[in-house]
Amino acid sequence: MHSLLLPLEQKSEVLSHNSGSLLLRMASQPLVDRLELKIIHGVPLIHYFANNFAEVERFQARPDDLLVSTYSKSGTTLLSEILEMLYHDGDTEKCGRDVIVKRVPFIDLAIPGEETGAQLAARTPSPRILKTHLPVQILPKSFWEKNCKIIYVARNAKDVAVSFFHFYLISKVHPEPGTWQEFLDKFMAGKVSYGSWYNHVTDWWEKAQKNPRILYMFYEDMLKDRRREIRKVATFLGKDLDDELLEKTVSHTSFKKMKANPMSNYDGVHPIIVDTSIGPFMRKGVTGDWKNYFTVAQNERFDEDYARQMSGSTLHFCTEA
């Protein structure tokens, strides 16, 4: 597999109680990688994120916030970059003002010794684009109270599993992924960070059916017809979109351009979160890569289990390019 390349940072954690939850205080113990996930409200979360969850629960949304919500590896960064272009009228210099995790605060994010996503969001001027991977049940209440617009992006389970496996390898805030077979078993059992993909996509889907402030999108659609999907986003935002802005946005958010762009490819992010010296964050950016990883037996077992876990849902995915 791979080795833990990072020299450990000399920071420390002091656990203290805050509103009944454990809050991680930064002091002077090492920042340790590959810690086990920690269950919060029934959901396994990245250890450091879980320790800071009290702050996330207190998160103060603003009415003009736009929240990008996804299960991990489902097109968050692609949609975020599209939104940045729309918010800045296609000004690529403005979109290049900082790395994506600073431009679009990830409210769940917390590692000792670093500014948390919630803290970054608090000092970000409105209108904010924010990111979360939280299941709908544990989204901070404030987003509902302020009636914020939310765009949820879903991606087919097989490609998410493959992308997530590779992400575990380069993101050492996660536990060791084990072999591909072991990781796939954990994925199917919901024993990966943010829990069950099946529950995540279906619970957000149910919520979106009842709430017109939630736009539910698919990664595969963004790959197949980027123009149509960007128009859909602009309409949802009530944003004028002329052909010039549309074409600029399509071009700026191509996989090739984003992979080469240090402001969107996760180079420069704290290496315990994403270590692109081990492997790229922008890996392949296609639909159907799962065929290069699933054996026939794994695929049969997965399909059988999928039918069981997704039975009763009206949600359908495209798994072929």
Residue nearest to ligand PPS (CB): 285
CB of 45 to ligand PPS, least distance (A): 14
Hey, how many other C-beta atoms are within 10 angstroms of the C-beta on 25? 14
Q: Which amino acid is at 241?
A: L
Burial 279-303 (b: 16+ CB within 10 A, else e): eebbbebebbbbeebbeeebeeebe
The only residue of 52, 193, 249, 253 in contact with ligand PPS, by rule CB under 6 A: 253
Show contacts with ligand PPS in window 158-217 (CB under 6 A). Answer: 159, 163, 166-167
Written as one letter, the residue type at 310 is M
The one among 50, 56, 75, 200 contacting ligand PPS by CB under 6 A: 75
288 binds ligand PPS (CB under 6 A): no
Which of 58, 284 has the CB closer to ligand PPS?
284
Task: Let me know: does 31 contact 51? Beta carbons within 8 Å.
Answer: no
Binding residue (CB under 6 A) for ligand PPS from 102, 285, 301, 310: 285
Smallest gap, in angstroms, from Cβ of residue 103 to ligand PPS?
13
DSSP character string of 42-72: TEEE-HHHHHTHHHHHT----TT-EEEEEST
Q: What Å distances lie between residue 267 and 174, 235, 279, 283, CA to CA?
A: 18, 32, 11, 13
Contact stretch for ligand PPS (CB under 6 A) within 14-22, 184-192, 193-201, 253-261: 253-261
Phi-psi bin for 220: left (phi > 0), alpha (psi -120 to 50), beta? alpha
CA distance 87 to 89: 6
Q: Which stretch binds ligand PPS (CB under 6 A): 117-125, 204-212, 236-244, 250-258?
A: 250-258
Q: Confirm whether 133 is a catalytic residue.
A: yes
Q: Which is nearer to ligand PPS, 62 or 259 (CB)?
A: 259
Report the residue from 69, 72, 132, 249 that binds ligand PPS according to the rule CB under 6 A. Answer: 72
Comparing CB distances to ligand PPS, the nearer of 13 and 46 is: 46
Site for ligand PPS contains 284 (CB under 6 A): yes
Between CA 180 and CA 295 the distance in angstroms is: 11
Look-up of token digits 């992979």 = 259
Would you count residue 73 as binding ligand PPS (CB under 6 A)?
yes
Q: Which is nearer to ligand PPS, 46 or 61 (CB)?
A: 46
Among 17, 88, 133, 200, the active-site one is 133
How far apart (Å, rounded) are the C-alpha atoms in residues 244 and 250?
10
Residue 77 binds ligand PPS (CB under 6 A)? yes
| Residue closer to ligand PPS, measured from CB, 153 or 241 | 153
The answer to whether the beta carbons of residues 51 and 196 sit under 8 Å apart is no
* CA nearest to 132, candidates 198, 61, 82, 84: 61
Residues interacting with ligand PPS, by CB under 6 A? Answer: 70, 72-78, 159, 163, 166-167, 223, 253, 255, 258, 282-285, 289
Which residues are marked as active site? 133
